[in-house]
Structure formats: structure tokens, C-alpha cells
Amino acid sequence: MNYTTASTLLAKKEHNSFLILSFLSIFLAIWGWTAFDTPDINNWFLENTLTFIFGLILILSYKNYRLSDLSYTFIFVYLLLHIYGAKYTYAENPFGYWLQETFHTSRNHYDRIVHFSFGFMLAYPMRDLFLNTFKFPAKYSWILPAEITLSFSGMYELIEWAVADVFFPHQGAAYLGSQGDIWDAQKDMGLAFSGSILILLITFAGQKILKKN
């Protein structure tokens, strides 16, 4: 199997319209349910502001900057994790409480899962975009996704700070969800960065293995 074939298997540039429409329909249905059933609608709107923006960008760019089906799958799963967290606030997420009780942890770690998933599930689509759509040199497709993940994580923490301390002080505590951890922002950034490094290493290893076969 040559290198081109290996790369194709890892980032298949097929565009299954039915798959994308299915993802969109499922996401909108679940997103509507989270809005209808949320215990805190104000927090829901705050948590989903970036979801609105990101979703609009995906829709408007779909025709000219189309990603692989695998990339859209990663994005779909990440957004589901995010809107499920936004439904209850991350600090009050039921699945996080189940994990806390099962593994006897000191806090609800659902926010940690989503921050790690931000890097793990979105670095691959970024690599797909740089390598296959923008035609950047291959070396940049390995470096930029991790750098951008870390930059976006820092930007998000600044947004959280602004919401909590400047714009919506009454809603900020629920949005911030630090649960008393003074290093919460740094840990969230570290997890996102680690997730991006991990998926890039897995992709690199996968290419090497397929190249040898």
C-alpha cells in the first residue's frame, strides 16, 4: 500500500451528503431538546453562543471548504458533547456526577472530558483543512492544529473570565464551572492541548503503519 492510499484511508475526501444531512438533523433535534429541557435557559444561551457561531461558519463554508466525512464525524461528536454539557452547566452534568460517584473523584469532571475532546476531535479537522483544502505544506498540517488548539483554549478561558467577571456576573459562576479549583483554566487548556497532540500522534502512527503494509 503506497503513501497516497494510506493517507486516503485516514482522511477520506468522500462527501456523503446523506451522512452530513443525518448529522445535521440529529444535532438540531438534540440541540432543540437541550434548549427545551434545560434547567437554566440563560446559561444555555451563554454556553451555546459559540455553538451558534461555529455552526453558522460550518454551514456557510460547506460548499467551498468541504472537509472529509471523518472530520465532520469528529465535529459532530464534539458538538454533541458540548451541548449536553451546556444543557445542565458543565459543573452540574449528570454523567459527570455518575463518573464522580463511580470513580470517587473530588469533582464533576465532565468539563475536563469536553476540553480534552476539543483538542482530540477538532485538531484532526483542522489538519484536514490545512492539508487537503488550503494545500499547506505537510509539516504545517502537523504543527498548526496543536498551536491553534492551545490558542483557542486560551481565548475561550478569557471569554469565560469576561462573562464571569465583566458582562454577566450573576450568570458567570455557572458558566465558569471551576468548582473551586484555582487552576481550572490552566488544566482545561492543558487537556485540550494534550488531546490535539494525541490525535496527531495517532494519525501519524496510523500513516506509518499503513505505509508499511
Residue from 137, 139, 90, 93 nearest 118 by CA: 90
Provide the pLDDT for residue 213.
66
pLDDT digits (tens, 9 = 90+) for 147-191: 999 999 998 888 777 776 666 666 655 555 566 667 778 888 999
C-alpha 9/C-alpha 53 separation (Å) is 31
pTM: 0.85
Residues in the chain predicted with pLDDT less than 50, given as ranges, are 1-9, 11-12
Amino acid at 91: A
Residue from 164, 193, 145 nearest 46 by CA: 164
Q: Considering Cα of 193, then 191, then 24, then 177, what sign does the dihedral take?
A: negative
